[in-house]
Amino acid sequence: MKVIGQAANLAFGRCIDVSVREYLRALTLGTALPDPVDRFLELWNTARRESELVYAATQSPADFEHMGQELMTQWPSAWGAQCQLAH
């Protein structure tokens, strides 16, 4: 079944959330770390394929893809820096 009319912002946030949670789960369990960029792209492409995403006038699929790639590229080093500050 294809969901129609889902806000692109919601789908984007869900893809970021799942990518981060899977990374943290692997880090916590000591298992192989997933590539957060690859995982985001996989989730984002699935969301675009399975849902009719609705974008604001200033948004495009490419904007969200670029933003997600940038965020997920920075994620591992930003998380590591925060962990070092906590210790």
pLDDT in tens, 1-59: 655 678 999 999 999 999 999 999 998 898 999 999 999 999 999 999 998 999 999 99
Domain span at 51: 3-86
**Global pTM value:** 0.85
Q: Which residues are within 8 A (CB) of 20 and not within 5 positions of it... i.e. 6 or more apart?
A: 36, 75
**How many domains is the chain partitioned into structurally?**
1
Cα distances from 3 to residues 7, 39, 59, 86, in angstroms, run 11, 22, 20, 42
Q: Is the pLDDT of residue 65 over 80?
A: yes
Q: What is the pLDDT of residue 87?
A: 43
Separation CA 76–CA 2 (nearest Å): 33
Q: What is the pLDDT of residue 85?
A: 47
Pick 30 or 83 by higher pLDDT. Answer: 30
